Amino acid sequence: MKKKLALLDSGWLTMETPETPMHVGGLMLYKVPEDAPETFMQDMLNWLMDVKEVARPFNKKLKTNLPMNLDAGWVTDRDIDMDYHIRHAALPRPGRIRELLALVSRLHAQRMDRQHPLWECYLIEGIEGNRFGLYIKIHHSLVDGVAAMRILQSRLGMSASDKFPPPWSAEWEEIEREKSGKIKSVKLPRPGLVESMKALSNVAVNLAKLAATPKDSNIKSIYKAPPTVLNKRVQPARRFAAQSWSLSRLKAVAKKYDATLNDVVLAMCGGALREYLLGYATLPEHSLVANVPVSIRSADQADEGGNAISAVQVTLGTRIRSAPSRLRAIQESMNSAKERLADMSRFEIDAHTIMTNLPLLAGQVSGLDGRVPVMFNVVVSNVPGPRETRYLNGAELLANYPASLIWHGYAMNITVQSYRDSLDFGVIACRESAPKVQRILDLLENALVELEEAVVKPKAVAEEAAAADIKQAAA
């Protein structure tokens, strides 16, 4: 029996083109156990493939007969070819991280075959330091990035001695049933016509108010972003850059400025993008705007599939020279966005998500995105992960680098995943529109050092300095 896709889920399928594959992914870096036998990698490959029955959402295959995916739905594939979904690769010696990221760049650029369930896993051996990688990608229409991370991480062991089935094994449904007494499934009530119309009306009023704010205000909405070199048509080739930062280090900066961890991440991105664009003499007059995804999925809904995300628009303060003043502008912008979401009902959040994504969908389908004014400049996403060490069939997980998606007109995506005492940054970009994207990693470090070394000023003084910075930059 076919389960029809929700509007937002089918949108990801409709937006997909050869240049814009709509899958999310991640590179998980593991340590080979010290006492591992010579056959460890072959044994790992066999274990990943040894699945009698596949769990949801990994067993869902797309079925559609009409154009534009108007009747698209999921059916259960009961004859999954694991040889197709689990693939083996090896790096040439010495197996540097540079070659690993180049391989993931190529793999992430390739669209998936819709005749199969829309996910793939690559076991990558030969990484220097006695390590191996697991690169997994899954279509955004099947599950959003937050849910994908929760599923994969919740099915890792808490110790090297834990022996569990592979993450896509249907045995996990029984394991989770025993843990909770039953598989939780939270079904939200559907709004009636009156409630739907009221939600749409409220959201429309709020968006109209936001649209009236000055372009140089820190309070942002869609279509408040300046044009940049990052907002052109994209080509199929991708570049993936990844690096880890100490979570304790970022928390110390957050405490210093009475900010949140996410504020600091956004400030790092703002500082890095400012210097990146200055390097090409293309920094726009107005500050860049980040589209920041926000999960509205409860912890017990991870296996439900589909998408449960909204997004807010936040300034990145790229026209502000002072790192502390830039952070203050980001705080003001983010706090305002949080307050707007907090005042919305779940139905209003759904309406807000649809109304702010429909222009993006229309732009991608019509071919106008990358040729008309953009809704935002870059996506910056922060996904929480486990604080405890995790293991895959005895191998210790060292880092988890997310690899998200980009579209026409939006050539860069920065996604952050926390794990243990680290924040793992994954930057995916169009190879042509965002050249030498690996420079972003050095610039992120520079932006963090600026915040660490700056002297904290009283709020009033910081606001005055920010205003002076903007005025001088515009002169």
Contacts of 29 (CB under 8 A, 6+ apart): 127, 131, 132, 133, 397, 398, 399, 400, 401
Q: How is residue 59 written in tokens? A: 């067993």
State mean pLDDT over 13-34.
94
Q: How is residue 433 written in tokens? A: 């529109």
State mean pLDDT over 170-181.
82
342, HSE (Cβ side, Cα atoms, 13 Å):
6
Q: What type of residue sits at position 57?
A: P
Active-site residue, 140 included? yes
Q: Which helix (H) or strand (E) covers residue 73, if one does?
A: strand 73-76
Residue whose entry in the numeric block shows the structure tokens 């089935």: 165
User: Do 3-180 and 193-474 have matching folds?
Assistant: yes
Confidence of residue 470 (pLDDT cuts 50, 70, 90): low
Examine the pLDDT at 182 and tell me if it is beyond 60.
no
Fold topology of 193-474 = Chloramphenicol Acetyltransferase (3.30.559)
Examine the pLDDT at 437 and tell me if it is beyond 90.
yes
Domain ranges of the chain: 3-180, 193-474
Lowest mean pLDDT among 50-59, 303-312, 425-434: 303-312
Return the percentage of the chain with pLDDT > 70, whole number.
87
State mean pLDDT over 350-363.
76
Q: CA 375, CA 470: separation in Å to the nearest integer?
A: 22
Examine the pLDDT at 369 and tell me if it is beyond 90.
no
Q: Which of 272, 332, 275, 322 is nearest to 457 (CA)?
A: 322
Q: Which of 23, 108, 139, 140 is catalytic?
A: 140
What is the reported pLDDT for 298? 38
Lowest mean pLDDT among 17-31, 186-200, 349-363: 186-200
Confidence of residue 179 (pLDDT cuts 50, 70, 90): confident
Homologous superfamily, domain 3-180: Chloramphenicol acetyltransferase-like domain (3.30.559.10)
Q: Give the model confidence (pLDDT) of 335-351 as tens digits.
A: 998 888 888 877 778 77
Lowest mean pLDDT among 63-72, 182-191, 374-383: 182-191
Chain mean pLDDT for the chain: 87
Return the percentage of the chain with pLDDT > 90, whole number.
63
Lowest mean pLDDT among 49-53, 202-206, 233-237, 278-282: 202-206
What is the reported pLDDT for 300? 42
Asked if residue 191 has a cis previous peptide bond (ω within 30° of 0), the answer is no
Examine the pLDDT at 301 and tell me if it is beyond 60.
no
Q: Give the model confidence (pLDDT) of 186-206 as tens digits.
A: 455 556 666 666 776 777 777
Q: Give the model confidence (pLDDT) of 136-167 as tens digits.
A: 999 999 887 778 888 888 899 999 999 999 99
Confidence of residue 176 (pLDDT cuts 50, 70, 90): confident
Buried b (16+ CB within 10 A) or exposed e, 47-85: bbeebeebbbbbbbbbebeeeebeebbbeebeebeeeeb
Q: What type of residue sits at position 180?
A: S
Q: CA 405, CA 21: separation in Å to the nearest integer?
A: 7
Examine the pLDDT at 282 and tell me if it is beyond 50.
yes
Confidence of residue 456 (pLDDT cuts 50, 70, 90): confident
